[in-house]
Chain A
């Protein structure tokens, strides 16, 4: 499943619904589904809040979901200003800590061509959780 959209508040629920639909079709267990819904929401919100400066016209947000070898992989990708320490969000700063607590493994890296950020989250669909 791959969804490309604009990074906006109204698209965060859409991204979550798309991932939910993918997981339900793949019969992912309920608790893993719940954790996946929260993780993808937090990752998309991070893109919304951090990736783009307010005057940026193009604000792509991509969400991919796939399953291989009993593991669900979610990728949330932007083409923004890259990872850094931002103190301008006014949020709790809980997004990445939550994702780290919920997923079996997380990697955060620069996007293709060094542009933007990719958050890759893996979840064990056998029902085990790291939290």
Chain B
């Protein structure tokens, strides 16, 4: 489906991986490559889920893998998601109890600033 896309932009030193549409085991390898490539170069990563309509546990596995790698190498990592808006993406994060695990920001700007400062939520969950 043409609307299901993963695009990568660079904002300063931060890779912004934007997901649009539905994502699952079919697109998980593409997301894994998009997330891991910048992390391998110790560049911070922000995954923008604002326009994602669906993610499954295959995508959660990629996001958790990215977060772990970012923490191991001490680089920034964060998600962009409007937590005030009910969505299928928020739903899977809530059902799995993963909302406090990820640094979640309302806007790309906030997420980029946080990730550029090296923040990745390590040292404990935050609200």
Contact = CB atoms under 8 A, between A and B. Distances in A.
B38 to A, nearest CB: 22
A123 B120 CA distance: 37
A86 B87 CA distance: 32
Given A13-B1, A37-B54, A98 B26 contact: no
Interface string A27-67: 00001001101100110010011000000000000000000
Contact of B96 (A34, A48, A98): A98
B101 to A, nearest CB: 12
A98 B86 CA distance: 18
B9 to A, nearest CB: 25
Interface in B84-102: 86, 88, 91-92, 95-96
Given A92-B61, A94-B60, A45 B91 contact: no
Question: How extensive is the interface on chain B, given as a class?
Answer: 10 to 19
A130 B95 CA distance: 11
Interface of A is mostly: helix
A124 B100 CA distance: 29
A37 B91 CA distance: 12
A35 B91 contact: yes
A38 B64 contact: no
B95 A16 contact: no
B82 interface: no
Contacts of A12: 24-26
B22 A92 contact: no
Contacts of A101: 95
A91 interface: yes
Query: 10 smallest A-B Cβ distances: which pairs?
Result: A94-B57, A9-B26, A34-B88, A41-B56, A45-B25, A92-B61, A9-B25, A101-B95, A131-B95, A41-B24
Interface of A: 9-10, 12-13, 16, 31, 34-35, 37-38, 41-42, 45, 48-49, 90-92, 94-95, 98, 101-102, 131
30 contacts: A10-B26, A12-B24, A13-B22, A13-B24, A16-B22, A16-B24, A16-B54, A31-B91, A34-B88, A37-B54, A38-B54, A38-B88, A38-B91, A41-B54, A42-B56, A45-B24, A45-B25, A45-B56, A45-B57, A49-B25, A90-B61, A91-B57, A92-B57, A92-B61, A94-B60, A98-B57, A98-B92, A98-B95, A101-B95, A102-B95
